[in-house]
Amino acid sequence: MKLTTKGRYAVTAMLDLALHYQQGAVTLSEIAKRQGISLSYLEQLFARLRRNGLVDSVRGPGGGYTLALAPDKITVAQIVITINENIDATRCGGDKNCQGDERCLTHDLWHSLSERIHDFLNGITLADLVAEPNVRDVAERQRERDREKRVSVVAAR
């Protein structure tokens, strides 16, 4: 099992939305700037997240994206699976044909690992992550950096 950049970015972007949950819609450009993720990459991820009911899009002035469910209702596993990440550590994708058409010697070991990874990620909600002190520290640092940029832009005018 390998969590790719796509999975990491999707979780990061969804956590960003969760951190701003009470503030209304967030634009993808804001998320891109805060998290250092390409805007075009976020557009692809959010199309899939929207189709699968994890985010809602808001059109017009003040538009952007919001979580479709409360942060305590969205698990990391849901996000990862929604963007088609594989949480399966077996070589055969769970088909039990790892060695030709038969199960390999270590199939059950890797299958059990896959189940534990899924259970672990399914046990963590966005609300759980938002409550983490380290996450809150990073979010505050990002907010402060945004404030400083706005002040320097205003001062430059």
CATH number at residue 21: 1.10.10.10
Q: Is residue 67 part of a domain?
A: yes
The H-assigned helical ranges of the chain are: 5-19, 28-35, 39-51, 76-82, 107-122, 126-130, 133-156
Which pLDDT band holds residue 123 (cuts at 50, 70, 90)? very high
What distances in angstroms separate CA 43 from CA 11, 33, 95, 113, one per listed residue?
Answer: 14, 14, 33, 32
Q: Please check whether residue 120 lies inside any domain of the structure.
A: no
pTM of the model: 0.87
Is there a domain that residue 58 lies in? yes
Domain count, the chain: 1
Task: End-to-end CA distance of the chain: give it in Å, rounded.
Answer: 51
How far, rounded to the nearest angstrom, does the alpha carbon of residue 145 sit from its chain's CA centroid?
22
Residue 62 backbone phi and psi in degrees, to 5: 75, 10
pLDDT (0 to 100) of residue 2: 64
Tell me, what's the pLDDT at 65?
97
148 has pLDDT over 70: yes
Which domain range does residue 63 map to? 5-86+125-156
Per the rule left: phi > 0, alpha: psi between -120 and 50, beta: everything else, 17 is alpha
Domain assignment of residue 93, yes or no: no
Assigned domain for 105 exists? no
Q: Give the total residue count for the chain.
A: 157
